[in-house]
Each structure stands twice: as C-alpha cells, then as structure tokens.
A = this chain, B = another copy of it.
Amino acid sequence: MDFRTDDHTLALIEQVRGFLDEHIRPAEAVLEQQYAAAADPFDVEPPIKEELKAKARAAGLWNLFLPDPKWGAGLTNLQYAPLAEITGHSIDLAPETFNCSPPDAGNMELLALYGTEEQQARWLRPLLDGEIRSCFAMTEPAVASSDPNNLQTTIVRDGDDYVINGHKWWTTGILRPHTKLIIVMGVSNPDAPAGQQHSMVLVPRDTPGIEIRRSLPVFGFPHHAYGGHGEVVFADVRVPAANVLGPEGGGFAVAQARLGPGRIHHCMRLLGHCERAIELMCRRAHERVTFGTPLAEQGVVQEWIADARMDVEQARLLVLKTAWLMDTVGAKGARVEISAIKVVVPKITARIVDRAIQAFGGAGVSNDLPLANYYVEARYLQIGDGPDEVHRRAVARRELRKYAG
C-alpha cells in the first residue's frame, strides 16, 4: 500500500488549482452579473463560460474525466479525483470550464462506451468539444425511481421509429439553450425478464412532442448555471430506431455504467465543497471575536473544525480507494463502495458546511458566501442518484451475504 500521489497527478493538481485561482474565482462575480442581466436567465449562455472553456482547453485541461485516451485526458479515476475535487470549490463554473460537468460528463461516458460511430459523430464529438450540452431523463414524479423497475415511460417500436410517452422530472440541464440532446430511459420491452425491459434512446431536444413544464428549484435556488431541473412531458415523441443507445432492453446495464462514475464524480466535487468550507470557517474563526475571544480560540469552534478535518480525511480516502477499485476491478466491481461514498460524502459535506454557516451567522445563510449553495448541493445528493436508504441497503446486503446460510 502506498499513499503517495504520483508526480503527474501532483503537477496536474498544481495546474488546475492555479487555473482556478487565476481565472475561475475572479469570474464568479462576472457569471452572476451575466445571469442577473438576463431577462430570463434560462434563456442565456453567459459568455464568460465560453471564455473560460477556451482558456482551459488551450491549457490542456480538457475532458479530464474521460479515462479513455481516445476521447479524453486518459487519467485514471484515482488521478482524476483530486482534480475534480478542486472543481468543487467553484461549483457553478469550474466543472464546466474543464468540460467535466454533470450531466454531460456521464452522457459522454455513455456515448464513448455504447455509442455507434454515427451517434458518436453526431453527439459525442460536439459534446467533447463543449459545443453542445445534453441531459438525462430518468427520474419520474409518479414512482420511486430509485428502483428503475418502477419507471413507467414507454418507448414503443413503431416501424423504423420509437415512440416515447412519459413524464419525467429532475432532468437537469434541459433548460439551457445549448442543450441539444436528451437521453431518455423507459420501458421498451415490457414482456422481457426483469432487468431487460428498459432501453435508452437519444432524443434531439427539438423533437416535436417535448413539453418542458417548468424548472424545479432546490431550496429556493433556481440553478440557472446547471440549466435548471426540468419537469418534462414526452407526448408521442418519435425518434428513429437507430437512436437506441446500446442494446435494446439493455438500459439497466447502460445506466449502471453511467451512474457509477457519475456518483463518484459528485463525491469528488463535494470534497471540494468541504475544503472550501473549512477554509472559510478557519478564516472567519481568526477574524471574528465574540465575548472577547476570537472564535479560533473557542473550544466549540475548534471542535467543529477538528471534526470537519477528520470527516473529510476519512471520506476522501474512501473515495480514492473506490476510484482505485474502479480502475482495477471496474465500476461494477466497485458498486458497493460507490454506494458507500454516495452515502458518506453528502452527509459529511452537509454537516461541515452547516457548521461553517453557523460560524458566519447571517452571512452564512445568505448568498454572499457559497455555503448555502454547497449545503443544498449536499442535501440534494442525499436524494439524487439514489436516496441514501437505497445505497445503505446495498451496503448492508453485501455485508449480510458474507454470513448467510
């Protein structure tokens, strides 16, 4: 066992951190202004995003998430982890700057793994170039979507087409102008055995029959930079049969390939939230004096800081070990570890950020600091991509299996 970070990764860490400090943090206020200036912020693509992307690509910091060197940076998950973490410091800008933001990263991964050459040419190439954006329509309001067997959207073969009918929500990104592709999951083979009834299809955003009802806020945040979270109705939406992604009936397997990396990437970025929250809390602790003593010398605040540091060190090691497992035994072999970090990391992030908020008082709950937004991100991820209860169950069942019968 060896806990040393390799030199290539160390160099990348320095480069990404430098880029963040030099280019991205100063751009945060610019982004906010460009959204504020818009009549409808869901109707604009703020120019600052494109400027940053151009700079990042020029610096060679592009598609860092994609392990396949044919398409991306060719880093292992273990190498990508500290880079993704740094992007978590500036959640609205940094991930997209390096073309590593959800849901596009996961979608690109799918297209790289399962796309036909044509699909890759039409969708993957412009996504990798950061020219278009995409979204992923899986969750449905009417059913517990954490069990995909419950999904009710239908994808019915009709001649050379599929016809899609269904009601989705939390389709993140669908409200951005750049978004041109929706990957839709639904029931294509209702009579097949369980686990082989679903398919994914590629649906151009401008296909007739797609109605975006509204964008869902999260704790009051509209999440413009994410392209919102759409509630979407598909009414007789018709796409060519060639638009199926991966094998027909193979939607579950394809989804697993997407969700594993998606979940660990979320965790990596949340660790960045944690680190920035700790930094903010410490700086505040040095500056703020109550009852004659700086917060930094008060035992309760020291306890917050110590607990935060201990939580984040442990969680990061588990994330890194999980990344290493994905690199060595694959996402499927690391499935339960991914469930574990998916529970652990949002929980500690929420707790750490909550205490940083408390250290700041009123400023903490306002938008003068990124903390309220970090909290909401962490809270949302206790539900999104599978609620904690489902992931805990997966962890428990593997443990119990060791001693069964």
Chain B CB within 8 A of A278 CB: yes
Tell whether, in the assembled complex, residue B365 and residue A383 are in contact, meaning their CB atoms are under 8 Å apart. yes
The answer, among B299, B301, B396, for a CB contact under 8 Å with A306, is B396
Chain B CB within 8 A of A389 CB: yes
The interface residues of chain B lying within 8 Å CB-to-CB of A320 are 1, 3
- Contact pattern, A 131-164, Cβ under 8 Å of B = 1, otherwise 0: 0000000010100111100000000000000000
| Total contacting residues, chain A, CB less than 8 A | 94
Tell whether, in the assembled complex, residue B340 and residue A313 are in contact, meaning their CB atoms are under 8 Å apart. yes
Tell whether, in the assembled complex, residue B299 and residue A298 are in contact, meaning their CB atoms are under 8 Å apart. yes
- Contact pattern, A 311-336, Cβ under 8 Å of B = 1, otherwise 0: 00111011011001100000000000
- Contact pattern, A 341-378, Cβ under 8 Å of B = 1, otherwise 0: 00110000000001001100111111110001101100
Tell whether, in the assembled complex, residue B362 and residue A216 are in contact, meaning their CB atoms are under 8 Å apart. yes
Query: What residue of chain B has the Cβ atom nearest to residue A380's Cβ?
Result: B365
The interface residues of chain B lying within 8 Å CB-to-CB of A354 are 379
- Contact pattern, A 370-400, Cβ under 8 Å of B = 1, otherwise 0: 0011011001101110011111110111011
Tell whether, in the assembled complex, residue A306 and residue B147 are in contact, meaning their CB atoms are under 8 Å apart. no
Tell whether, in the assembled complex, residue B362 and residue A299 are in contact, meaning their CB atoms are under 8 Å apart. no
Give the complex CA separation of A365 and B217 in angstroms.
8
Q: Which of A87-95, A112-120, A178-186, A283-291 contacts B (4 or more CB under 8 A)?
A: A283-291
The answer to whether A361 and B144 touch (CB under 8 A), given A1-B320, A6-B1, is yes
Q: Which of A23-31, A98-106, A219-227 contacts B (4 or more CB under 8 A)?
A: A219-227
Give the complex CA separation of A336 and B236 in angstroms.
53
Give the complex CA separation of A343 and B302 in angstroms.
14
Give the complex CA separation of A365 and B193 in angstroms.
34
Closest CB pairs A-B (n = 7): A220-B220, A220-B221, A302-B396, A317-B317, A314-B314, A306-B392, A306-B395
